[in-house]
Amino acid sequence: MSEHTSRAPQQMPEAQPAAVASGVSKARRNLLRASMIGGPTLIALKPASVIACSCKLPSGFTVSGNASRGPKNCADPSEVASVWKPRTTKTANGKDAYGNTIYEHRYRTKNGQVLTIHSGKLLSDLGITRGSYSGTTVGAWMNTGDTSDTGLFMACYVTAWAHSNGSNFPTKNTLRDMWNAAVATTAGYTVPNQTQKWDKAQVIGYLRFLTSQAPA
């Protein structure tokens, strides 16, 4: 028994002064509070994707009449005409023969990027065939509404101008070719990797898909 009792007792940690202990405790509380506040903030500040739209390309999309086989709407669709229509920026672009400044109402993305395409741009300058449709400018077609053929096309066309790299959304040239071949004329549009040509109803059905307006 004496052997056990003769051992020196284990040394206990030296007590911290009250002021130090209080400071450490306060620092820990502040750290915990900051972590709880900072967590959601980091999530909220996560940057958005550069490519704003992501939809199936024509080669991976099958239509039957006006409806698609598969998903009814695009996962990350194009904005519709009524959204694009008012969102323009008045931009100076040189002077006319009389020295007056020429202004263009250029379309602007939701992130504030001002595009070079503007409401007064002639369809013929873009290689777009009118067919039996009225209106000669981008703005005239954008004004025809979200569900009209020309409004559907122009909303998707300007979206492609802004965002498309050809892998997440059809390019503006692809959309132009689809329109010219199957809507403005009756030749039909040959989709890459598909053998059957799309007619007008199928192209319009695809445009509805791109703008999340496919029939339920």
What's the confidence (pLDDT) of residue 168?
81
What's the confidence (pLDDT) of residue 36?
44
> How large is the average pLDDT for residues 52-59?
66
Model confidence band, residue 72 (pLDDT cutoffs 50, 70, 90) = low
What's the confidence (pLDDT) of residue 41?
35
Q: Tell me the domain boundaries of the chain.
A: 58-210
> How large is the average pLDDT for residues 83-99?
96
Whether 207 contacts 152, CB under 8 Å? yes
How much of the chain, in percent, has pLDDT values that exceed 90?
54
Distance of CA 26 to CAs 22, 31, 33, 35, 185, Å? 6, 9, 11, 14, 75
Model confidence band, residue 79 (pLDDT cutoffs 50, 70, 90) = very high
Q: Which of 29-38, 40-49, 70-79, 116-125 has the lowest mean pLDDT?
A: 40-49
Question: What CA–CA distance (Å, rounded) separates 206 from 57?
Answer: 9
Q: Is the pLDDT of residue 51 over 50?
A: no
DSSP letters along 66-132, please? TEESS-SS-SBPPPPHHHHTT-EEEEEEEE-TTSPEEEEEEEE-TT-PEEEEETT-BTGGGT---TT
Q: Which H or E run contains 190? A: strand 189-190
How much of the chain, in percent, has pLDDT values that exceed 70?
66
Model confidence band, residue 152 (pLDDT cutoffs 50, 70, 90) = very high
Q: Is the pLDDT of residue 172 over 70?
A: yes
What's the confidence (pLDDT) of residue 142?
98
Orientation angle between helical segments 200-210 and 149-163, nearest 10 degrees: 50
What's the confidence (pLDDT) of residue 42?
31
What's the confidence (pLDDT) of residue 216?
56
Question: What CA–CA distance (Å, rounded) separates 181 from 196?
Answer: 14
Tokens in use for 52? 């704003």
What's the confidence (pLDDT) of residue 6?
47
- Which residues does 2 contact at the CB level (< 8 Å), separation at least 6? none
